[in-house]
Each structure stands twice: as structure tokens, then as C-alpha cells.
């Protein structure tokens, strides 16, 4: 195995990798009902392509995944059991395949076409489908119809022009689906989104507690199926699945309920009762979930036999579980998808090189602040360089603030391409500023945003508000921290395992399919800023920030002082360079 942190530049992705990948620890346990689960894929359909671990463990692309699903379908037929495929949303925002479209295009429109080439049984909408109206509309008009009623948005509507141009609010996809499996089992399915509040105008997210009181909901769950398949973009723990679960249980005390969640980017599993199971399968195509259940007779009160597994999506995993060799693994459809993805990457010019990154920069494997921290690189070097290019305000002292959640993935040493830029920073967030803010006030904004400062009021941006706007960094970070602490430096050194996720969840047995040693973890604040300039307390400076956090910045400013009431009319555009461009600009200047 490649030692932790060591680079193996000879790594080749398509054939049997030169880097040795640890095979799965044991065969899958099949049941009567088997379900393969993807969630929070965020455009990672080309697989992870870097040579340092853990990346090679996630190197399978969507074509490889399609071949795997095809072989698993065949095995299911041979075993005469059901195999379903489900997805819990967040197809947008995260790689060049979705965000690297040329001007005039729509985010994820082209990459999403690969989803309908796989036999998905049910898909649910995610919050990232809703930040921009045009993306939600594309899902409504072009994506949902491909799935013939199985793209579910139980509590999410979009407003479109109805008859005569009158605006009407309609589900983005369908509210629920009822269908039969290959073996003739009756399924009732929902697709639920957590109580998201960061959605664009003309989209609506109904609170989960209101959804379960709708007449359509009561009608949809009335008839008893063989099992309920609840798919949704909502973490399986510490969110509102119990409301949906209890509403179904109130009508059907013993019917099996299978839940597939997402959003918090973690591997997780729990059981609300002995005849149900809830699985969450990570993020970024770093995990493919597998769940099997043995069904008993209607009305049985016995605990169900359930098995769950978190697979590392790579060809070694896929070949192991589908009993194939490298030479017999690729299906024609799989090859076609891989080729289509590479063509799309070429069309979007994703290999365009901006420079050469001198070292790795990580989001949580290095302390913040530090030389290896991507967040430090951004605030100390990237933003001060990129935002002042051709900017008439370059000579005016400033403080630049951004939310850490705008940065999404590590940078690895070596060629830094358009795709790397968009994986690290996918959002088209604009930079704005408020001029003439007294230095003493501007300096206090960051600590208050991070919940540490005392502005004489309740914390302005509570953890709940941030969570409702989609922020799950804290949950994902806590998960990484917990596995990091559990391992400890000695145990990590003693194990000759590659870096990866080491999951401890609330379901029976071990969930991880391949054994790893946990990634090091260092926490970081929710908001970060450039180093404040020196000067007297009343030095007038530019307070620069990304538009995604503008309303929070205004609230904080107004809590910090009473001399002026700041409103959106004080907020001006700072530069035409967007957040998803700053790394490319910086790399061209400094990494060439
Ligand atoms: N324009 C945007 C949109 C989102 N963010 C960040 O993403 C977080 C939500 O992403 P999940 O995958 O966790 O749903 C959100 O809280 C922001 O941190 C952004 O920065 N700009």
C-alpha cells in the first residue's frame, strides 16, 4: 500500500490502478430486497483522480458504477431477489462536469444526462438543486420527465407559468411514487427535503411537519405496500425523519420502512424500530451504500434482518462484489458513459492548466491557520491577490471575509486545472463591499460571525439558522473529528492501512466495506478573513465579503454599532471575479 500522505504519481485511473487498492474485507450479504444508494454526488461522476490516498479509493467513475449496477442486477436475477437503485439528491455544485459549463449553459444540465442512463428506481431532490431558480427549472423541465414519476420532491415546489401565463406552484418532480419491483413487491415512495431556507425565489420548501399533515400525504400512505421506500435529502440522525416515520407508523404499525437519507455527507445508519432501517451514504461518490433486508410475512412484529455496507467506489470494489475480473468488468453501457464523461470534460476544457500547486492544501487535514491549510491559502494569499487584479480599489485597505463552506475540496500538489479550481471552489458567489467602515468595527465582524464576539445581542447567525441554509460542515467535521480521536496517533501508526473513513454507526456489525485508518482532522471556523490592516480605530476601510453571507454581515454590522444603520443599498460590487474563479487567477499569477 502507498504509505499515508505519500504521492504516487505513476497512478493510472482507468486500468487496474498502479497504486494498490485494498480489496473489500468480505462479500456482501444479500437479502430479499437489496438497494444500492448514491447521495450528494455533486458532480463527481469522473471519480476521484488524484494519486494520494484516500483519493484512489474513490477512483471509480460513473461508467464503472454503471457496469457494477448491471452486474449486480444480473446477480439479483440469478438469486431471484430484488435489487433497486436510489439517489438522495444534490447533483449540482462540486466539479467541473457540473459547474464548468460555457457561458449560457445551465449548471449540471449535461452531467445529469448520465443519471438517466442508469436504472434508478427513485431519486429525491437536494438543496443544491434549489440555490438557483434556473437549475431547479432545469430539473423540473428536463430531468424529472426522464424518470417517469420517480424523481420525487414531496415538499418542494417550483413556480412556473401556467395556462395564460398565470404563475402556478407545482412539484419540481412528483410528490410520491407507487410501483412494483421485478419480484412484484408493492412499494410506496416519498422524496423529502430537510427544512431548507436558502432556496431561490419562486421555489418553495414546505416544512416536514406540515407535509405530513397534507391530504395527499394521507392518501399516498393509506394503502399498505410490501415496504415503504423513503428517500430524501435529510440526514438520518438529528433531523426530521422521525416525523415522516411516525406518520407512516401511525397507519402501518409493522410494515417495513426503508429510509435513504443524505445531506450531511457522512456514512450513517440507525433503526427507528426493529422493522425499519435508515442509511446515509456519504458524499462526492466517495461512498456507494448497499442495504439488504429479508422480508417476512405481513403483520409480523419480529425484527427485520438487515445488513448495510459502505462501499469505496473503485474498480477493485466493484469487481470483487460482482465476481468479475478487470477484463470482463466493463459493460457496453459503462464504457459509453465513461467515454461520454471524458468527452464532456474535453468540451468544458477541464484539463486547462492554470499553474502547478507546490504542495497539498487541505480543508481539515492541516490545522487552521497553517501553511498546509486551504483556508489559510485563500485568505492570506488567494483573495488579496485575485480580488485586486484590475481593481480601482486595490490601494484602499480592506478586510475580506468569506464563509469556509464556500471551499469544498482539497488541492493536491501538481498541475492545477480548471477542474481542480471548481472542485475546490464551485460557487458563483460574487464579492461585494461596504466602503468607509471604521477599522475597529470591521475587525469585530469576523469574531461575531463565528459566534465568539459579544455584540450585546443574541448570537446573530445561530447554528440552527446556518443549518437551515444548508450548512453541514459542522456535522461532517464532527464526524471526522470523532473518528480521528477514536483512532489516536499510536493506533493509526500501528495499522498498515490506507487513509479513509472509519465508520461507527448505530446499526449492527461493521459498516465499512474496506478497512482504513482515519484521516487526520483539524477543526476550522465557519467564517475566515484576511489579516486586518493596521491603523487607528477610525481608519476607513473596505469591508469585502461574498454575497452568500451579505445578510449576515449586515446584521452583524448593525449589532456592533449604532452610528449608522447599514442596509443592502450600502453594499456595492467589488470585482467581477467570482469565488469560483479566484484560485485560477491566483494560480496563473503565482503558480506558473
Ligand atoms: N452559493 C453558495 C451555496 C452554498 N454555499 C455553501 O454550501 C453549503 C451547503 O452545501 P451542502 O452540500 O452542505 O448542502 C452552505 O452552507 C454554504 O456553506 C456557498 O458557500 N455558496
Q: Please tell me if the CB atom of residue 403 comes closer than 6 angstroms to any atom of ligand 1.
A: yes
- For atom 20 of ligand 1, which residue has the closest CA? 406
| Cα–ligand 1 centroid distance for 407 (angstroms) | 9
3 state DSSP class of 10: coil
The answer to whether residues 380 and 400 touch, using CB atoms and an 8 Å cutoff, is no
* Phi/psi of residue 382, nearest 5 degrees: -65, -55
Beta strands in 234-298 (DSSP E): 257-261, 267-270, 276-281, 288-294
Q: Is 131 in the pocket of ligand 1 (CB under 6 A)?
A: yes
Q: How far is the CA of 262 from the centre of ligand 1 (A)?
A: 15
427 CB under 6 A from ligand 1? yes
Shared-domain flag, residues 282 and 430: no
- Domain presence at residue 433: yes
* Nearest by Cα to 517 from 554, 537, 489: 489
Does the C-beta of 470 come closer than 6 Å to ligand 1?
Answer: yes
The verdict on the CB of residue 472 being under 6 Å from ligand 1 is: yes
Residues 312/285, Cβ–Cβ less than 8 Å: no
329 and 425 fall within a common domain: no
Query: What count of residues does the chain have?
Result: 592
Contacts with 79 (C-beta within 8 Å, 6 or more apart), sequence order: 30
* Binding site membership of 363 for ligand 1 (Cβ less than 6 Å): no
Q: How many helices (H) does the chain have, and how many strands (E)?
A: 17, 24
Q: Is 250 exposed, middle or buried (0-12, 13-18, 19+ CB in 10 A)?
A: exposed
177 and 208 housed in the same domain: yes
**Exposure of 502 in the CB half-sphere (CA atoms within 13 A):** 21
Question: Which residue has the CA at smallest separation from atom 17 of ligand 1?
Answer: 405
Compute, in angstroms, the gap from residue 470 CA to the centroid of ligand 1: 6
Q: Indicate if 375 and 323 belong to the same structural domain.
A: no
How buried is residue 569: exposed, middle or buried, by Cβ count under 10 Å (0-12/13-18/19+)? Answer: exposed
Do 125 and 91 touch, CB atoms closer than 8 A? Answer: no
Give yes or no for a contact between 544 and 431, defined as CB atoms under 8 angstroms apart: yes
**Same domain? 393 vs 340:** no
Is residue 471 lining ligand 1, measured as CB closer than 6 Å? Answer: yes
Task: Report how far ligand 1's centroid is from the alpha carbon of 551 (Å).
Answer: 15
Question: Which of 331, 393, 557 is closest to 460 using CA atoms?
Answer: 557
Pairing of the two strands 276-281 and 305-311: unpaired
Cβ(44) – ligand 1 distance below 6 Å: no
Residue 564 inside a domain? The answer is: yes
Q: Is 527 in the pocket of ligand 1 (CB under 6 A)?
A: no
Q: Give the CATH number for residue 336.
A: 3.60.21.10
Establish if 389 belongs to a structural domain.
Answer: yes
What span, in angstroms and rounded, lies between the C-alpha atoms of 1 and 20? 5
Ligand 1 contacts CB of residue 429 (under 6 A): yes
Domain region containing 382: 353-450+525-590
Question: What's the confidence (pLDDT) of residue 195?
Answer: 97
pLDDT at 453: 55
pLDDT at 491: 67
Q: Look at residues 148, 194, 156 and name the one whose alpha carbon lies nearest to residue 172.
A: 156
Ligand 1 center–CA 27 separation, angstroms: 37
The number of the ligand 1 atom at minimal distance from the alpha carbon of 402 is 20
CA distances from 243 to 16, 32, 239, 389 (A): 46, 27, 9, 51
Best residue among 378, 470, 474, 524 to mutate for probing ligand 1's pocket (most ligand atoms within 8 Å of CB) is 470
Residues of the chain with pLDDT under 70: 1-17, 453-461, 489-494
Say if ligand 1 is within 6 A of residue 580 CB. Answer: no
Do 375 and 285 share a structural domain?
Answer: no
Q: Is 475 a domain residue?
A: no
Q: How far apart are the first and last CA of the chain?
A: 32
Q: Is the CB of 548 under 6 A from ligand 1?
A: yes
In terms of C-beta density within 10 A (0-12 exposed, 13-18 middle, 19 or more buried), how is residue 389 classed? middle
The residue to mutate among 195, 406, 524, having the most atoms of ligand 1 within 8 angstroms of its beta carbon, is: 406
Q: Which segments within 325-459 are labelled E, that is strand? A: 353-357, 398-403, 414-417, 431-438
- Determine whether the shortest distance from the Cβ of 282 to ligand 1 is under 6 A: no
CA of 283 to the centre of ligand 1 (A): 14
- Which pLDDT score is estimated for 12? 41
Which ligand 1 atom is at minimum distance from the Cα of 127? 14
Does the beta carbon of 547 lie inside 6 Å of ligand 1? no
* CATH at residue 412: 3.90.780.10
**Angle 539-542-548 from CA coordinates, rounded to 5°:** 145
- 79 & 216 share domain: yes
Distances from the Cα of 282 to the Cα of 4, 429, 502, angstroms: 22, 25, 12
Indicate whether 495 belongs to any domain.
no
Ligand 1 centre distance from Cα of residue 286 (Å): 19
Residue nearest to atom 18 of ligand 1 (CA): 405
- Is residue 434 located within the same domain as residue 565? yes
Nearest protein CA to atom 19 of ligand 1, as residue? 406
Together in a domain, 157 and 253: yes
Pocket test for ligand 1, best of 471, 528, 547, 549 (most atoms within 8 A of CB): 471
* Nearest residue to 248 via CA among 279, 227, 270, 269: 227
CA angle 472, 361, 517 (to 5 degrees): 70
Q: Tell me what pLDDT residue 457 has.
A: 39
The protein residue whose alpha carbon is closest to atom 16 in ligand 1 is: 471
Residue closest to 438 by CA, chosen among 520, 535, 344: 535
Ligand 1, closest atom to CA 406? 20
From the CB of 96, is ligand 1 less than 6 Å away? no
Q: What pTM does this model have?
A: 0.95
Query: Is 61 part of a structural domain of the chain?
Result: yes
In a domain, 310, yes or no: yes
Q: What is the pLDDT of residue 209?
A: 98
Shortest-distance atom of ligand 1 to CA 94: 12
Q: Does 393 share its domain with 542?
A: yes
Q: Is residue 513 part of a domain?
A: no
For the stretch 109-162, pLDDT in tens is: 999 999 999 999 999 999 999 999 999 999 999 999 999 999 999 999 999 999
Ligand 1, atom 7: closest residue by C-alpha: 405
Last residue of a domain, one of 290, 314, 347: 347
* Radius of gyration, CA atoms only, the chain: 24
What burial letters (b/e) apply to 350-371, b meaning 16+ CB within 10 Å?
Answer: beebbbebeebbbbbbbebeee
Same domain, 366 and 301: no
Cβ neighbours of residue 422 closer than 8 Å, sequence gap 6 or more: 94, 95, 96, 99, 100, 350, 580
Same domain, 304 and 357: no
Atom of ligand 1 nearest to the CA of 405: 18
Looking at 313, 347, 381, the residue that finishes a domain is: 347
Residue 16, pLDDT score: 47
Q: Which of 306, 321, 347 is the last residue of a domain?
A: 347
Q: Is the CB of 405 under 6 A from ligand 1?
A: yes
Total of domains in the chain: 2
Compute the distance from residue 15 Cα to the ligand 1 centre, in Å.
Answer: 35
Amino acid at each position: 500500500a502507498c504509505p499515508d500522505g505519500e504521492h504516487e504519481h505513476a497512478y493510472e485511473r482507468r486500468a487496474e490502478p498502479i497504486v494498490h487498492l485494498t480489496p473489500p474485507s468480505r462479500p456482501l450479504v444479500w437479502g430479499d430486497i437489496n438497494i444500492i444508494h448514491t447521495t450528494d454526488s455533486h458532480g463527481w461522476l469522473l471519480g476521484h483522480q488524484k494519486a494520494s490516498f484516500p483519493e484512489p479509493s474513490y477512483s471509480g467513475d460513473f461508467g464503472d458504477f454503471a457496469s457494477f449496477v448491471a452486474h449486480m442486477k444480473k446477480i439479483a436475477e440469478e438469486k431471484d431477489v430484488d435489487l433497486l437503485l436510489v439517489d438522495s439528491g444534490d447533483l449540482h455544485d462540486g466539479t467541473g462536469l457540473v459547474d464548468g459549463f460555457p457561458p449560457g449553459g445551465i449548471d449540471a444540465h449535461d452531467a445529469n444526462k448520465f443519471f438517466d442512463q442508469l436504472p434508478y428506481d427513485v431519486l429525491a431532490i437536494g438543496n443544491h438543486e434549489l440555490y438557483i431558480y434556473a437549475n431547479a427549472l432545469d430539473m423540473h423541465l428536463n430531468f424529472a420527465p426522464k424518470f417517469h414519476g420517480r424523481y420525487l420532491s414531496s415538499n418542494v415546489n417550483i413556480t412556473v407559468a401556467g395556462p395564460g401565463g398565470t404563475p402556478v406552484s407545482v412539484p419540481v418532480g412528483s410528490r410520491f411514487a407507487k410501483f412494483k419491483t421485478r419480484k412484484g413487491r408493492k412499494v410506496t415512495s416519498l422524496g423529502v427535503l430537510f427544512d431548507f431556507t436558502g432556496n431561490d425565489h419562486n421555489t418553495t420548501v414546505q416544512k416536514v411537519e406540515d407535509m405530513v399533515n397534507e391530504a395527499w400525504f394521507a392518501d399516498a400512505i393509506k394503502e399498505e405496500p410490501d415496504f415503504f421506500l423513503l428517500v430524501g435529502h435529510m440526514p438520518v440522525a438529528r433531523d426530521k425523519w422521525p416525523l415522516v416515520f411516525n406518520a407512516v407508523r401511525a397507519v402501518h404499525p409493522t410494515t417495513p420502512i426503508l429510509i435513504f437519507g443524505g445531506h450531511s455527507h457522512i456514512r450513517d445508519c440507525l433503526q427507528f424500530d426493529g422493522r425499519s432501517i435508515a442509511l446515509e451514504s456519504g458524499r462526492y461518490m466517495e461512498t456507494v451504500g448497499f442495504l439488504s433486508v429479508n422480508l417476512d410475512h405481513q403483520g409480523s412484529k419480529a425484527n427485520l434482518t438487515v445488513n448495510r455496507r459502505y462501499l469505496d467506489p473503485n474498480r477493485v470494489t466493484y469487481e470483487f462484489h460482482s465476481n468479475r475480473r478487470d477484463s470482463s468488468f466493463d459493460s457496453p453501457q459503462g464504457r459509453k458513459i465513461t467515454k461520454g464523461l471524458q468527452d464532456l470534460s474535453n468540451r468544458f476544457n477541464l484539463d486547462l492548466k492554470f499553474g502547478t500547486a507546490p504542495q497539498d492544501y487541505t480543508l481539515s487535514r492541516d490545522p487552521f491557520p497553517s501553511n498546509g491549510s486551504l483556508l489559510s491559502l485563500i485568505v492570506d494569499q488567494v483573495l488579496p491577490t485575485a480580488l485586486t487584479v484590475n481593481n480601482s480599489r486595490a490601494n484602499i485597505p480592506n478586510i475580506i471575509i468569506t464563509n469556509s463552506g464556500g471551499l469544498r475540496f482539497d488541492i493536491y500538489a501538481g498541475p492545477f486545472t480548471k477542474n481542480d479550481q471548481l472542485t475546490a471552489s464551485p460557487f458563483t458567489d460574487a464579492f461585494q463591499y461596504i466602503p468607509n467602515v471604521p477599522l475597529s468595527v470591521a475587525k469585530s465582524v469576523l469574531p461575531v460571525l463565528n459566534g465568539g464576539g459579544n455584540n450585546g445581542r443574541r448570537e446573530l447567525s445561530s447554528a440552527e439558522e446556518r443549518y437551515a441554509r444548508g450548512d453541514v460542515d459542522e456535522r461532517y467535521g464532527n464526524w471526522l473529528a470523532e473518528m480521528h480521536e477514536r483512532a489516536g496517533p499510536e493506533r493509526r501508526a500501528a495499522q498498515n492501512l490506507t487513509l479513509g473513513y472509519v465508520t461507527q454507526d448505530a446499526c449492527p456489525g461493521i459498516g465499512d466495506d474496506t478497512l482504513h485508518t482515519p484521516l487526520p482532522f483539524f477543526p476550522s471556523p465557519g467564517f475566515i478573513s484576511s489579516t486586518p490592516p493596521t491603523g487607528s480605530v477610525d481608519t476607513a476601510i473596505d469591508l469585502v465579503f461574498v454575497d452568500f453571507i451579505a445578510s449576515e454581515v449586515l446584521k452583524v454590522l448593525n449589532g456592533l454599532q449604532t452610528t449608522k444603520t447599514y442596509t443592502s443599498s450600502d453594499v456595492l460590487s467589488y470585482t467581477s471575479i467570482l469565488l469560483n474563479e479566484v484560485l485560477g487567477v491566483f494560480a496563473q499569477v503565482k503558480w506558473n
